[in-house]
Chains A and B, each alone.
Chain A
Amino acid sequence: MSQTALTKNKLSCYHCGESCLNDKIQSGDKIFCCEGCKMVFQILNQNELCEYYNLNDNPGINQRIQVREDKFAFLDNKQVQDQLISFRDEEQIHVTFYLPQMHCSSCLYLVENLHRLDTGVISSKVNFTRKEVDIVFLSAKTSLRKVAEILTSIGYEPYISLNDLKSKRPAIDKSMIYQIGIAGFCFGNVMLLSFPEYLGIDVTENSLRLLFRWISFVLAIPVLLYSALPFYTSSWKSLKHKFLNIDTPVALAIIITFIRSAYEVISGTGGGYFDSMTGIVFFMLAGRILQNKTYRQLSFERDYSSYFPVAVSVLKEEKEIPTILPDIKTNDTLLIHNEELIPADGILTKGKAFIDYSFVTGESIPVEKGVGEIVYAGGKQTAGNIEILVVKEVAQSYLTKLWNRDEFKKEKKNNRSFVHLLSRYFTYIVLSIATITAIYWSINDPSRIWPAITAVFIIACPCALLLANTFTNGNILQILARNRFYLRNAETIEDIAKIDHIVFDKTGTLTSTQQQDIVYTGTPLSLIQQEQIAALAAGSSHPLSKALSRHFTIDGQHSVESFREIPGKGIQGIVDGDFIKIGSETFTENKTLNNSGTFVYVTINDKTAGHFRFSNHYRNTVPDLIKRLKPQFQLSVLSGDNDSERENLKKIAGSDTKSLFYQKPENKADYIRQLQVKGEKVMMIGDGLNDAGALKQSDIGIAVTDQSNNFTPSSDAIIESGRLSSLPKFIKLCRANRNIVVASFVLSIVYNIVGLFFAVQGTLSPLIAAILMPASSISILLLTFGSSSILARRMRL
């Protein structure tokens, strides 16, 4: 027996680190929790890849749930291949797989050494942030299916969803990075070249002065034609929709500044404002990039197809035929293997179904279904194979239909930010000042009309407002992301600031999916017995077993012999010589209690001991969260469950919080629509696929997840469940956003007035512009960054 394993109180698996029932499963001096883990170790050992275990302790992924052998048979299908493969020629095939299990440098090491496990693989390169691997292999030596199977055999099962079939993912748009690079280069050089002019270059060196001006001119061209492109396209788009957004005056100012400066240089009358122009483009691009920073590991756009598999087995004349989902027709018989998702609504025709609807409802305890009952798409079968007769095609199934409902497809209005409104007033004021200036000079000195008007446009560009907005948004997004609250985009900040009604989903959102409240009734259990039960339960991955093994702490060493798990029924084993059975009432031969709720019965040495009652566990932070939200917002709780929790919920949420039970997914969405009709701005907080409709319908849909790289339904924001308690602070910060922007705007107007004072007189020299532009930009930067960061610190975010 291993020394290391005994010194620890508990035996932990060398591969995955989970606790082992006993030390039966061994290879060499290593102990494993299951055959799956041992097998992975043996594969790695044979191929001299055990460096994997040296890089990190227990880096593996638990292999207790085995992947069925021909799971990837659908990868032999030409149609599927064509969609997945990114490049192929006569010899090579390039493919990208998503490996959600990847979590440490050991994973990186192993996956990049794939060529040692399969000689057909030429190279495999990991992108860790995206959890993806790009694999190049020889089509003569291996196949797509074999590569996927080898990855699976070492514990990294590629995640291939129906979504991969639909479209190729767009490449990341890097054009704005190029644009800012070029703008920065041109801005820096133009600024240096402008210094001599400002500092008063010797008049005798006129040729040098001309040279500097012409170089500045040339350097400004790429900024005008390339770097400033985002502003032109955005303003063009808004003009097409007959809407004046903030980019229109900005684009206008950039073009006017360039033309005026070019005129001055060509005519030899002055140096122009190239440094101000390139500088402002650079700063504005920086703000944009900060604001648009995306979190690559997150996706806000998931629909059901990201959850569904690519293919299932269809039974035809006693044969299993892997079929891709869109090809499934009604009256097909599907063979759903253990741990597979049901892709279409159907009638159970064979086997016993224990369906885990946690994807759908957030409820992790499986539901039992018998032959003849309808099973809905989206559930995961957890106990053995079943056969179902399809009654509705995939696209017509209950859940998917809900998703395809037309009202959810409405586009959310864009450009509704108050910044655009503010900039519009600003533009009107600027236009009237320009007109007045023009009239004044046309009477007094017509030769000064054009210098004065162009100067007004240059100085009155609302770039300060744009800067204030983008930098504040960017910083707030970053502060929120640091607190594990990820927003889809900057507009979401303003939407959050406006809400007045918060609707919670109960299961999985207010309650935890990981924890259950457990109450025991029956013959009192001794401490040893409690530990024995926990040791036995540790052997199963059923959510109730897991909850039970967490409920009791194991201190001593317990040996579990002849462990057996009967799916959907229970587990049994001989712990320290005592025969213990845990499970349903029929399994443990108990009398049925006429109580609603979830029960687990225990017999020790064939004697009934008692039963555990499981109930939802409200997250510890929930009472406090509700207490703090209540004074400011209307609250509602929607639940898809029965109302056995009504009293419990009332205690936590108070009697003035509306709570509705038996809510189907469409009821949830309808409830939110009703609130919206009344004029309320609704924030929906939910977690499962059944909330997806409500999340989309609401003004702000927030998906709660236990881990930020888990799958979440499409939403406007994603929050980690642990940070739910900070929600009031987050909302406060979003509300402060507007004040900060307005304050910086006021500051920038002061600069503008100073500039306008010179501009209307037609005496705006490049020097004044060169001082005003960076001074206002930098002070706005400091103000927005500083105030939002100070605010966040004061709120302890």
Chain B
Amino acid sequence: MSVIIILLIASISIAGLFLVAFLWGVKSGQFEDDYSPSSRILFDDKPSSSNQPNK
């Protein structure tokens, strides 16, 4: 009996965490632009010198 109550609390709080994560994601605009982040991750911070075109 008491174990069910513990399980209940655990399950609802985990679900609650996911809800909070979802709301935070919407609020921070993660669903607004699905193109830029995927390309941005591919950019090097500084292009190495081998990438430089010859002058």
Contacts and interface: CB of A to CB of B under 8 A. Distances in A.
A54 B51 contact: yes
Interface in B29-55: 31-36, 39-40, 42-44, 46-47, 51-55
B53 A129 contact: no
A208 interface: yes
B19 A205 contact: no
A50 B32 contact: no
Contacts of B54: 28-29
B53 A28 contact: yes
A211 B36 contact: no
Interface in B7-34: 8, 11-12, 15-16, 18-19, 22-23, 26-27, 31-34
Interface residues of B, number: 32
A782 interface: no
B47 A182 contact: no
A53 interface: yes
Contact of A108 (B1, B18, B34, B40): B40
Nearest to A116: B46
Contacts of A30: 53
A51 B43 contact: yes
Contacts of A55: 43
Contacts of B31: 177
A188 to B, nearest CB: 7
Given A185-B15, A189-B12, A174 B26 contact: yes
A109 B43 contact: yes
Nearest to B35: A128
B34 A208 contact: no
Interface string A374-406: 000000000000000000000000000000000
Contacts of A178: 23, 26
Given A51-B51, A181-B23, A215-B8, A127 B33 contact: yes
A48 B52 contact: yes
Contacts of A50: 47, 51-53
Interface size class of A (residues with CB under 8 A): 20 to 34
B6 interface: no
B55 A28 contact: yes
A172 interface: yes
Contacts of B53: 28, 30, 45, 50, 53
A50 B15 CA distance: 47
Contacts of B42: 105
A188 B35 contact: no
B36 A188 contact: no
Contacts of A215: 8, 12
A368 to B, nearest CB: 43
A134 to B, nearest CB: 11
Given A28-B55, A29-B54, A48-B47, A181 B19 contact: yes
Contacts of A177: 26, 31
A112 B34 CA distance: 16
A613 interface: no
A126 interface: yes
A306 to B, nearest CB: 22
A174 B52 CA distance: 44
B50 to A, nearest CB: 11
A635 to B, nearest CB: 40
Given A127-B36, A174-B27, A185 B1 contact: no
A51 B33 contact: no
A218 to B, nearest CB: 10
A130 interface: yes
Contact of A182 (B5, B19, B27, B40): B19
Nearest to A29: B54
A129 B43 contact: no
B14 to A, nearest CB: 11
Contacts of A51: 43-44, 47, 51
A680 to B, nearest CB: 42
Contacts of B8: 211, 215
A727 to B, nearest CB: 30
Contacts of B12: 189, 215
Nearest to A107: B39
A185 B16 CA distance: 8
Contact of A128 (B36, B51, B52): B36
A53 B52 CA distance: 10
B51 to A, nearest CB: 6
A130 B46 CA distance: 27
B12 to A, nearest CB: 6
Nearest to A196: B4
A125 B18 CA distance: 28
B36 A126 contact: yes
Interface-centre pick from B46, B47, B51, B53 (highest chain A CB count, 10 A): B53
A55 B44 CA distance: 11
B35 A112 contact: no
Nearest to B37: A128
Interface of B: 1, 4-5, 8, 11-12, 15-16, 18-19, 22-23, 26-27, 31-36, 39-40, 42-44, 46-47, 51-55
7 contacts: A48-B52, A50-B47, A55-B43, A108-B35, A108-B40, A181-B26, A185-B15
When A and B form their complex, which 4 residue pairs have the shortest distance between CB atoms, in order from nearest? A105-B39, A128-B35, A51-B47, A185-B19
Given A174-B27, A205-B1, A208-B1, 11 more contacts: A30-B53, A50-B51, A51-B43, A109-B39, A126-B36, A127-B32, A128-B33, A128-B36, A177-B31, A189-B12, A189-B15
